[in-house]
Structure 1
Amino acid sequence: MRDLPPDDDNWFAERQWAVGRRVQAERIRQNLTQENLYLAARVDRRTLQALEAGSGNPTFATLHRIAYVLDVPLSDLVQ
């Protein structure tokens, strides 16, 4: 087991941003709009926008829906 980094807020924000970048990059790679993705994944538009901006804190279910629609392993998005 390991301890969290001393600057927990910054550490977590960096990871949120990275997940958002991965979702956005895969969405763009597949030539999908945000609207295509949030409708297909059945998530709120603002949730996807916040996720891609790195300011959201999505649930496991939301991340799983997005990964499923993008047809990528969830682990690829949250690595």
Structure 2
Amino acid sequence: MPSLPDDDSWLLEEQRAIGDRIRVIRLRQDRTQESVFLAARIARSAYQDIEAGRTEARIGSLLRIARVLGIHVTDLLRG
């Protein structure tokens, strides 16, 4: 099993990567942040923090976002 780095910089990088994937898919679909967070029933600030990679997203939130975007949640997690 691979070891984790001593700090959590890797975690922040992954959060940002997930947020970037959400943003890219959303923009390809010509959708606004508002249309996604309303359809996903997620608070505006929570959605914005997820897309900006500022928070550890709850799995339920990622599942809702993925469903609204018409993708599988694993598409958000894979690089």
- Give distance in 2, aligned partners of 1:5 and 1:57: 18
Deviations 1:6-46 (A, max 9, x none): 33x11111000000000011111111101000000000100
- Give distance in 2, aligned partners of 1:78 and 1:12: 12
- Give distance in 1, aligned partners of 2:45 and 2:77: 20
1:7-26 to 2 correspondences below 5 Å: 7=7, 9-26=8-25
- Root-mean-square deviation (CA, aligned residues, Å) is 0.9
TM-score (norm 2): 0.93
- Give distance in 2, aligned partners of 1:14 and 1:71: 24
Please report how far the alpha carbon of residue 2 of structure 1 lies from its aligned counterpart in structure 2 after TM superposition. Answer: 1.9
1:61 aligns with 2:68: no
TM-score (norm 1): 0.93
> How many equivalent pairs are there?
78
Give every structure 1 segment of 4 or more consecutive aligned residues whose post-TM-superposition deviation is greater than 2 Å: none
The share of aligned pairs that are identical, in percent, is 44
